[in-house]
Amino acid sequence: MRWGERVLRWLVIANFAFGVIAVLCLAASFPGEAMLAAQLVRKYGAGAPVMTLVWELRAMLLLGAVAVWPIDRCLRPLADVARSVRRGEPFDPANAVRVMTIGWGLLGVQLLDLALGLLTGLIAHSGADVAGWQPSLAGWICVPVAFVLARVFAAGARMRDDLEGTV
């Protein structure tokens, strides 16, 4: 296994771990609601919309947990493509499907990023400190690139099959 495949394996594990942590924090926010609310009152004052902030924090954790799935839909197929390339089979017909799956995963990530932007705006409107957000132009460009590459892989697989049939 090459270093790139190892990195992808670790990214899959880290992504899953992040999802588990997000779900655990979300679950802990319910029994720990009073403590969380008290911390927010200390930070933002008694006039802050504390329960709104608590629910927005929960939404942020839920969004993080949901993001695990489309990210996984990018990482695992990418690892499979890397393995097939290492074996000398870049135009394996399965790679076209894998790259298409990556495209759908990237689209899911970008849609979740838009939801993150909306949520970030709501949190800022509630008066909390929050990092700025802007849409990812590069991320949106990657979505059609993945779908085009999936078609390229499919055409390459057909050409490879045609060439093998003529030899």
Closest listed residue to residue 152, CA positions, set 160, 164, 163 = 160
Q: Read off the tokens for 3.
A: 């270093």
For tokens 């899953």, the residue is: 16
Domain encompassing residue 147: 3-166
| pTM of the predicted structure, to 2 decimals | 0.88
Number of domains in the chain: 1
> SS3 of 104, please?
helix
Task: Give 46's DSSP letter.
Answer: T
Selected residue with higher pLDDT from 91 and 113: 113
* pLDDT band per the 50, 70, 90 thresholds, residue 165: low
What are the residues whose beta carbons fall under 8 Å from the beta carbon of 162, sequence distance 6 or more?
none
